[in-house]
Amino acid sequence: MATLTDRAAWFIGASAQCDTTPENTGHVWHLVLLGPPGVGKGTQAEGLTQALGACHLSTGDVFRASKSTPVELRSPALKTALGAMGRGELVSDDLVVEMVRERSGCFRCQGGFLMDGFPRTVAQAQAFDAMLEEKGIALDAVVSYDLPLDEIVARLSGRRTCGTCKAVYHVTARPPKVADVCDACGGALLQREDDQPESIRVRLKAYEESTRPLEEYYRGTGRLVPVSADGSPDAILQRTLEALSQIAPTGGA
Ligand code: AP5
């Protein structure tokens, strides 16, 4: 079984090294997880990391981690990004692309990667393609999750996230053993600022307008793998692994 990584290189940027890197003895997967806010991408990433050995690279996690930067040390760009995030709006393409570019060494992680939350617009997808091409890496698949709207809202409203290790829970569907305490590390479980009803509405609208077109974009590359996000996390994980077993890996390393 793969070990979870500390993801220091992804969180901190180019100069940082991870203390632990995934042990990957099989195919090195390069995947994008696509789908509306709350569909369960982060939850699936936990299982997929264990099953495939690939590192979970989430742009949302990087922005949330940057909230620990003291307010007086935040750059104007970071302040703008955090403001947009809190309201449920997308952060600007320029800023996100630059942030990912600074961390593009992670694309060559020996475990491979699961990109979660990026790209989110066609402009970001084009910039991502160029970065991957520079590094000689081809995406194996873009796993596209979907779920009816009312179930998405229920998942987002009940979500709790560990402030320390970022593990994801749900008050009814995936509760921790002890209320508000992370099973994995004992950290406090928190509700995300953007899981309030008004921010959820804005995020879902942004998804339909800006991110939904990526399904067509990646269908055109032949790499779109649609997977239903209905059912338990384990059932969805098995469905995802089954779908991945049907595709021919690119061999791009
Ligand atoms: P980001 O962190 O990427 O959030 P998101 O895409 O909105 O996705 P979420 O993390 O909300 O949901 P998820 O699909 O991972 O669901 P989860 O597994 O947690 O981005 C946040 C913000 O950052 C954006 O709004 C934007 O401002 C900014 N940003 C980030 N990247 C950007 C970019 N590229 N461009 C511009 N801006 C960017 O599950 C949700 C809940 O459901 C949990 O409680 C979970 O326990 C529960 N659950 C999961 N699976 C199941 C199941 N099968 N059954 C029942 N419950 C389940």
- What pLDDT is stored for residue 3 in this prediction? 45
Closest C-alpha to 133, from 252, 10, 13, 9:
252
Q: What percent of the chain has pLDDT over 70?
A: 93
122-134 and 93-102 are packed helices; what angle lies between their axes, rounded to 10 degrees?
A: 20
pLDDT per residue over 34-53, tens digit each? 999 999 999 999 999 999 99
- What pLDDT is stored for residue 253 in this prediction? 47
Q: pTM for the complete prediction?
A: 0.93
Higher per-residue pLDDT: 78 or 151 = 151
Q: What percent of the chain has pLDDT over 90?
A: 75
Q: How confident is the model at residue 112 (pLDDT cuts 50, 70, 90)?
A: very high
CA distance 238 to 47: 9
The one-letter amino acid code at 95 reads L
- Is there a catalytic annotation at residue 103? no
CA distance 37 to 176: 21
Q: Cα-atom radius of gyration of the chain, to the nearest Å?
A: 17
Q: Whose CA is nearest to atom 50 of ligand 1?
A: 40
The average pLDDT across 190-203 equals 93
Out of 7, 160, 174, 203, the active site residue is 203
| 59 CB near ligand 1 (under 6 Å) | yes
User: What number does the ligand 1 atom closest to the CA of 159 have?
Assistant: 44
Out of 7, 41, 103, 174, the active site residue is 41
Count of CB atoms situated within 10 Å of the CB of 204 = 18
Q: Is 3 helix (H, G, I), strand (E, B) or coil?
A: coil
